[in-house]
Amino acid sequence: MAGRSWVAALVQLMALGLVIGLPHQGFAQKRSDRSKNTGKSDSRDVVGPKRTDRTVPESERVKVITKTEFVKVVTKADKGYLSVVAIPSASVTLNALSAADQKKAPAIKETVKDLDGSLNLINLLPGKYRITIEHPDYNPYSDTIQVDPARPETFVALNKMVSRYGEIRIGGAPAGAKVFLDEMAISITPAMSDGQGISLSRIAVGKHRLRISKDGYVDLNSEIEVSPVPPGKQTFVSAQLDLAKVTLNLNSQPGGRVYIGTEEKAIIPSNGNVTISLPPGQHKLMVSKEGFQDWRKDLTLSLAKNPATETADLIPVPVSTEGDWQPSLGARKWYPPTSSWKFAASGAMIKGDQLVLFDTEPSRTFNTYRDFRLEFDVVFANDKGVAWAVRARDVNNYYLFEISTATGKIPVLNFYICRDGKLQWMDSRPVVEKIDKKGDSFHFIFEAHGARFDTSMTIASSPSTKPLRVGVFQDDSFSYGGVGFRGKDLSESLLQTFFVIPIN
């Protein structure tokens, strides 16, 4: 039975990397001679390192065998063998638990020197031990183990030891960002940054305040929990910083629309104040509201002056006075100048798609009206009708009304809205009166009241006691603007007289 135990012990020790001699003698290679020869040739003497002068005989002392060093040893059937797997540089202490064993063998304390964390002890007295493993970076760990004679034991503590430190991995931070841990600046060395992120090692386990800062960006403030993780695993923090912005407090007329460049950012609420976040730099600010002149300002925003405050005082659009035009005035009172129109003593020949607006204002490019009455006399020069524009904000945004007399079709009054130079058909009304007589003259009366537009007419060849209503339309897209004329679908019309008067 003892022979079988000895064989099993030999096999297991060889698996652990230990070369052990036979009961009478053993042969092994020495990497270094760290013990002195006693001069005796007793085959039971051990050739190996001496650690301390214990009270037990030399032949009875516990020996440490590494995987890279071979020594000549003699095994004993009544001794135990222990392999410990822990942290490199850890301190391993064995204390016998029974009083009798404590008298026979003092406490054993060794240091794990192998880089793989292994420590191999032979020549141990059998019995129960309290094993304690300590390392500066880990919490102490202890357990009770049993060492049996002639039977190798393995104690794996590596996965049971809890680290006092962890690692933080910061990803996505912009180049040059500053890192603060618990408000202490961290000096980032090249070894800590690999181009993909920043690694902070030996961070105490527990909660920490992490702040990442860079000029021109909003600070990232985060509370993180650093865990005692095994090597290769880290606490990850995403540090995608947002660009810093300036807070603009804008005061203006409720209902006004706020634009930065061409982008609408907000509508002024009922309290007259709105807050907008903008990046530092140059911006074009505009506040626009129907019935008021656009307010514009070039802004230079800086983080050094944050927040910024602006007040946009909107001025009501002034309404023009009444005005008229006669052929004798020629191209005067029309904007913009156009080569498409031809002026003669009989009137102005209107053709082409360009909008031309009535203009008698010395300080503005064209007259502006809210509610008004427009009257004009016209001849369909090429029998295709006439088109007039009202409440034009500019030459690309307006209402358009058209009498269309295309050959072979019922005459209609068409209603369009032009936005950004693009016409959109809205509605139509049939014209029941006969208006296809060549060279006939028509007197149109157009009235704008709020969102209601009313068109009537009289026909020179068919006089009536009162104007004939042609059609009524409603829309509230534009509340004010200019009046004028343009061609539509190659129409040509001769404007003979024109008169406009505001309505209170």
Q: Provide the pLDDT for residue 65.
A: 57
Please give the Cα distance from 434 to 413 (Å, whole number).
13
Confidence of residue 67 (pLDDT cuts 50, 70, 90): low
Q: Which residue has the higher pLDDT, 368 or 67?
A: 368
Q: What is the token pair recorded at 164?
A: 């006092």
Per residue in 165-213, pLDDT tens? Answer: 999 999 988 888 999 999 999 998 888 888 788 999 889 999 999 999 9
Rounded percentage of the chain residues whose pLDDT exceeds 70:
85
Q: What is the 3-state secondary structure (H, E, C) of 176-187?
A: CCEEEECCEEEC
Mean confidence (pLDDT) of the chain = 85
Number of domains composing the chain: 4
Report the chain's terminal Cα–Cα distance, integer Å: 125
Tokens read off for 193: 């940054």
Residue 318 domain flag: no
Task: Note whether 209 and 331 are same-domain residues.
Answer: no
Residue 48 has pLDDT above 50, yes or no: no
Task: Tell me whether residue 198 is in a domain.
Answer: yes
- At residue 416, does pLDDT exceed 70? yes
Q: What is the domain extent for residue 226?
A: 165-238
Give the residue-averaged pLDDT of 282-286. Answer: 96
Per-residue model confidence (pLDDT) at position 290: 83
Do 359 and 428 share a structural domain?
A: yes
Neighbours of 346 (CB within 10 A): 11
CATH code (residue 254): 2.60.40.2070
Q: Given pLDDT bands bounded at 50, 70 and 90, which one contains residue 119?
A: very high
Confirm whether 61 is domain-assigned: yes
3-state secondary structure string across 145-210:
EEECCCCEEEEECCCCCCECEEEEEEECCCCCCEEEECCEEECCCHHHECCCEEEEEEEECEEEEE
pLDDT band at 422 (very low <50, low <70, confident <90, very high): very high
Q: State pLDDT tens for residues 350-365.
A: 999 999 999 999 888 9
By mean pLDDT, which of 134-138, 190-194, 272-276, 356-360 is the weakest?
A: 190-194
pLDDT tier at 35, thresholds 50, 70, 90: very low
Q: How confident is the model at residue 270 (pLDDT cuts 50, 70, 90)?
A: very high
Cβ of 19: how many Cβ atoms within 10 Å? Answer: 17
Lowest mean pLDDT of 8-17, 51-60, 131-140, 147-156, name the range: 8-17
Alpha carbon dihedral 136, 142, 145, 150, in 10-degree steps, equals 10
- Residues 228, 103, single domain; the answer is no
Q: Is the pLDDT at 70 greater than 70, yes or no? A: no
Does a structural domain hold residue 255?
Answer: yes
**Band of the pLDDT at 250, cuts 50, 70, 90?**
very high
Which pLDDT value is given to residue 60? 54
**Whether 131 and 90 share a structural domain:** yes
- Domain identity same for 116 and 135: yes
Q: Is residue 317 part of a domain?
A: no
Q: How confident is the model at residue 36 (pLDDT cuts 50, 70, 90)?
A: very low
Question: Is residue 41 pLDDT above 50, yes or no?
Answer: no
Residue from 377, 379, 387 nearest 352 by CA: 387
pLDDT at 255: 95
pLDDT at residue 496, as a whole number: 97
Quick check: is 33 in a domain?
yes
Question: Which amino acid is located at 180 in the chain?
Answer: F
Please tell me the predicted confidence (pLDDT) of residue 16: 42
- In this prediction, residues 133-152 reach a mean pLDDT of 92
Q: Torsion over CA of 289, 295, 296 and 301, rounded to 10 degrees?
A: -90
Least confident of 172-181, 382-391, 493-502: 172-181
Tracing tokens 């609408």 back to the chain, one arrives at 264
Contacts 24+ apart (CB under 8 A), 111-115: 112/84, 112/86, 112/87, 112/88, 113/66, 113/88, 113/89, 114/66, 114/67, 114/68, 114/88, 115/88
Residue 240 has pLDDT above 70, yes or no: yes
Q: What are phi and psi of 287, to 5 degrees?
A: -120, 125
Q: What is the model's pLDDT at position 62? A: 61
What is the C-alpha to C-alpha distance for residues 204 and 210, in angstroms, rounded to an integer? 13
The answer to whether residues 141 and 8 belong to one domain is yes
Question: For residue 42, is pLDDT > 50?
Answer: no
318-327 pLDDT per residue, tens: 899 999 999 9
| CATH code, domain with 494 | 2.60.120.560
Together in a domain, 138 and 191: no
Point out the least confidently predicted range of 7-11, 162-166, 336-340, 449-453.
7-11
| 406 against 224, higher pLDDT | 224
- Is 316 a member of any domain? no
Question: 103 by DSSP, 3-state: which?
Answer: helix
**Same domain, residue pair 149 and 11:** yes
Residues 182 and 278 both lie in one domain: no
State the DSSP H helix or E strand holding residue 10, giving kind and residue range, or none if neither: helix 2-15
Q: Is the pLDDT of residue 80 over 70?
A: yes
Residue 407 pLDDT: 67
Distance CA 375, CA 129 (A): 115
Please check the confidence at residue 400 and state whether its pLDDT lies above 80.
yes
Q: Looking at residue 191, what is its pLDDT?
A: 85
Q: Is residue 381 situated within a structural domain?
A: yes
Which residue is associated with the tokens 């990397």? 17
User: Do 335 and 380 have their domain in common?
Assistant: yes
Q: Which two tokens stand for residue 141?
A: 């760990």
Q: Which of 204, 202, 277 is nearest to 246 (CA)?
A: 277
Question: What is the CATH classification number for the domain harbouring 96?
Answer: 2.60.40.10
Identify the bridge partners of residue 412 per DSSP, sorted by sequence position.
404, 430
Which residues share a beta bridge with 357? 335, 484
Which of 190, 213, 238 terminates a domain? The answer is 238
pLDDT exceeds cutoff 70 at 14 = no
The pairing of strands 412-419 and 422-430 is antiparallel
Last residue of a domain, one of 238, 267, 292: 238
Smallest CA-to-CA distance from 415 within 351, 485, 374, 473 is with 473
Nearest to 289 by CA among 310, 308, 266: 266
Mean local confidence (pLDDT), 52-63: 51
Query: How far apart, in Å, are the Cα atoms of 22 and each of 45, 101, 196?
Result: 13, 27, 57
Statement to judge: residues 230 and 255 lie in one domain: no
| Beta-strand relationship, 468-474 and 295-301 | unpaired
Q: 232 with 296, same domain? A: no
End residue of a domain, out of 222, 238, 254: 238
